[in-house]
């Protein structure tokens, strides 16, 4: 059963890369699209959920904000993942910390404008 969930998670990544290669709506083609998708799939790999459609992907400096559809047995949900690039790896970061202006993990202002909007 687990191998099916992982296989299901890998297949959307191929679709994601194909769709985003041309700079699809809401996806910044200059982002590390495959790296971000791989990290989301890694996060979801311990659950029954799989990565669905990427609704948006924005990158600034060493930060990435991605809103995706997560496919789960209980139904699909829309989730936002915030990552920082540290020593070549995408590291999941709390949106609360990223929105804390002046905090040690505050995201660049360009990302906070959308991520932290009320």
Q: Domain residue spans in the chain?
A: 2-93
- The per-residue pLDDT of the chain, averaged, comes to 81
pLDDT tens-digit map of 106-117: 999 988 887 887
Question: By three-state DSSP, how is residue 43 classified?
Answer: helix
pLDDT in the model for residue 30: 87
Model confidence at 4, in pLDDT bands (50, 70, 90)? very low
Under 8 Å between Cβ of 92 and 81: yes
For the beta carbon of residue 54, count every other beta carbon within 10 angstroms: 24
pLDDT tens-digit map of 48-107: 999 999 999 999 989 999 999 999 999 999 999 999 999 999 999 999 999 998 888 899
49, burial (CB in 10 Å: exposed 0-12, middle 13-18, buried 19+): buried
24, burial (CB in 10 Å: exposed 0-12, middle 13-18, buried 19+): middle
């Amino acid at each position: 059963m687990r191998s099916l969930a992982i296989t299901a998670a890998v297949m959307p990544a191929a679709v994601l890369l194909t769709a985003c290669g041309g700079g699809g709506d809401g996806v910044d083609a200059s982002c590390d699209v495959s790296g971000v998708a791989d990290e989301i799939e890694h996060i979801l790999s311990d659950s029954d959920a799989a990565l669905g459609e990427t609704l948006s992907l924005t990158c600034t400096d060493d930060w990435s904000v991605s809103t995706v559809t997560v496919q789960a047995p209980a139904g699909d949900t829309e989730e936002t993942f915030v990552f920082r690039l540290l020593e070549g790896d995408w590291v999941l970061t709390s949106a609360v910390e990223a929105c804390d202006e002046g905090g040690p993990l505050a995201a660049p202002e360009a990302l906070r404008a959308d991520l932290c909007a009320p």
